[in-house]
Amino acid sequence: MSRIGIIISREFKERVQKKSFIIMTILTPVLMIALGAAPTLMMLHSTGDAKQIVVVDDTEGAFVGRALKSGSLVSFQLLENMTRQEAIVAYSDEDKAFGILWVGRDFVRHPDNVKLITNTSSSVMIEEEISGQLSDILKVARLHEYNIDNIEQILADADVKVSLATMKNDGSGDDGNMEQMSSDIATMISLVFGMMLYMFIIIYGQQVLASVIEEKQSRVLDVMVTSCTPFEMMMGKILGIAAVAAVQVAIWCVLISFASQFLIPMIPMEEMENPAFASTISTTFGDIFYILKLFAMLLLYIIGGFLLYASLFAAAGSAVDVNQDAQQFNTIIMLPIILGLIVMMSVFNDPNSPMALWFSIIPFTSPIVMMARIPFDIPFWQIAVSLTTLYASFILSTWIAARIYRIGIFMHGKKPSWKDLGSWLRTK
pLDDT, tens digit, 9 for 90 and up, residues 343-363? 888 887 888 889 989 999 999
pLDDT of residue 386: 94
- Residue/partner pairs of 161-164 with CB below 8 Å, 24 or more apart: 163/274, 163/275, 163/276, 163/277, 164/276
| Percent of the chain as helix, strand, coil, to the nearest 5 | 70, 5, 25
Q: What is the pLDDT of residue 426?
A: 77
Q: Quote the CA–CA distance of 307 and 92 in Å, as a whole number.
A: 66
Partnered with residue 78 across adjacent β-strands are 55
CB 311 within 8 A of CB 238: yes
Report how far residue 21's alpha carbon sits from residue 28's, in angstroms, rounded to the nearest whole number: 10
Spell out, as residue ranges, where the chain has pLDDT lower than 70: 1, 33, 35-48, 162-186, 219-222, 225, 257, 259-290, 412-413
DSSP state of 364: T
Residue 184 burial by Cβ neighbours in a 10 Å radius (0-12, 13-18, 19+): middle
Q: What is the pLDDT of residue 192?
A: 76
Strands (E) located in 138-251? 166-167, 180-181
What pLDDT was estimated at residue 219? 66
pLDDT in tens, 29-73: 777 767 666 666 666 565 567 889 999 999 988 999 999 999 888
Kindly give the pairing relationship between strand 51-57 and strand 74-78.
parallel
> For residue 182, what pLDDT is reported?
54
| pTM of this prediction exceeds 0.75 | no
DSSP secondary structure string, 376-421? G---HHHHHHHHHHHHHHHHHHHHHHHHHHHHHTT--S----HHHH
